[in-house]
């Protein structure tokens, strides 16, 4: 799929990436 | 086969399958989930690094832009002063002749 | 409980579980896998966009740096010319007096 249409601001993006790192997967 | 049909046939297979098949499927899904989780974490770590690099570059750009504006203004002022000296010079030379 | 013990107890649970539990586990793992896959793709797409934005910013930085060097050199040359005019002026004034 192409580039995500609504690109979040840097701060939101950093939170998104960090949430993926901290999220536990069982 | 449409996605719906695919889903239906997957569900039927799980319902009809014996414990052996179910255990093998759990094993397969667990492996795939662990691999995809690893790739997701890599993508997130990479994204954070590039985001950090971009923010640093933005800061460098902003600093250079301030430098550039300062030098531009200094140049404009010196050009104006030069113009002033030059026209004074011409006036003095004209007065001298007359 | 160590990771090894955890793995062992998970495996034992799968071996002893009945078909109902196995089916529910397949359902849960499939959902997690689909969600994790979506997150991985999202992270990769965002990472690519940030990378592209960073490369564009780098190009803008390089362009500004060239501009900055040009203006700097022009300023240095004008300063030198100004110094020249100023010292000539002083010499002429001194000659005039003497």
Q: Residue B61 in contact with residue C64, Cβ under 8 Å?
A: yes
Alpha-carbon distance of C59 to C82, in angstroms, equals 35
**Cα distances (angstroms) measured from residue C21 to each of A26, B11, C18:** 16, 15, 6
What does the pLDDT look like over A1-26, one tens digit per residue? 445 557 788 889 999 999 999 886 55
Give yes or no for C43 touching A (CB within 8 A).
yes
- How large is the ipTM? 0.77
CA distance B61 to chain A (A): 17
Average of per-residue pLDDT across B27-46: 96
Alpha-carbon distance of A9 to C84, in angstroms, equals 53
Q: Residue A6 in contact with residue C49, Cβ under 8 Å?
A: no
Cα A11 to the chain's mean position, in Å? 10
Residue positions counted in chain C: 98
0.80 surpassed by pTM: no
pLDDT at position C37 over 90? yes
pLDDT at C86: 81
The residue in chain B having the minimum alpha-carbon distance to the alpha carbon of residue A21 is B41
Average of per-residue pLDDT across C51-68: 97
3-state SS, one letter per residue, for B39-66: HHHHHHHHHHHHHHHHHHHHHHHHHHHH
pLDDT at B8: 85
What does the pLDDT look like over B13-24, one tens digit per residue? 888 888 889 999
pLDDT at B84: 87
Nearest to B57 by CA among A16, A11, C66, C50: C50
pLDDT at A1: 40
**Between chains, do C46 and A8 touch, taking CB under 8 Å as contact?**
yes
Q: Chains touching chain C at 3 or more Cβ pairs under 8 angstroms?
A: A, B
Higher-scoring residue by pLDDT: C14, B31? B31
Give yes or no for C29 touching B (CB within 8 A).
yes
Average of per-residue pLDDT across C16-43: 94
pLDDT at position C81 over 50? yes
Lowest mean pLDDT among B5-14, B19-28, B74-83: B5-14
From the list A10, A14, A21, the residue facing B41 with the nearest CB is: A21
Chain A neighbors of B33, CB-CB under 8 A: 25
């Amino acid at each position: 799929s192409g580039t995500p249409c609504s690109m979040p601001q840097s701060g939101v993006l950093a939170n998104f990436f960090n949430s993926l790192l901290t999220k536990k997967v069982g | 086969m449409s996605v719906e049909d695919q889903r239906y046939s997957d569900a039927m297979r799980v319902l009809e399958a014996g414990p052996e098949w179910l255990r093998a499927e759990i094993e397969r899904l667990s492996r795939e989930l662990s691999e995809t989780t690893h790739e997701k974490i890599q993508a997130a770590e990479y994204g954070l690094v590039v985001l950090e690099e971009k923010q640093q570059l933005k800061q460098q750009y902003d600093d250079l832009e301030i430098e550039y504006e300062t030098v531009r203004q200094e140049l404009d002022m010196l050009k104006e002063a030069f113009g002033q000296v030059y026209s004074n010079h011409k006036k003095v030379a004209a007065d001298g002749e007359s």
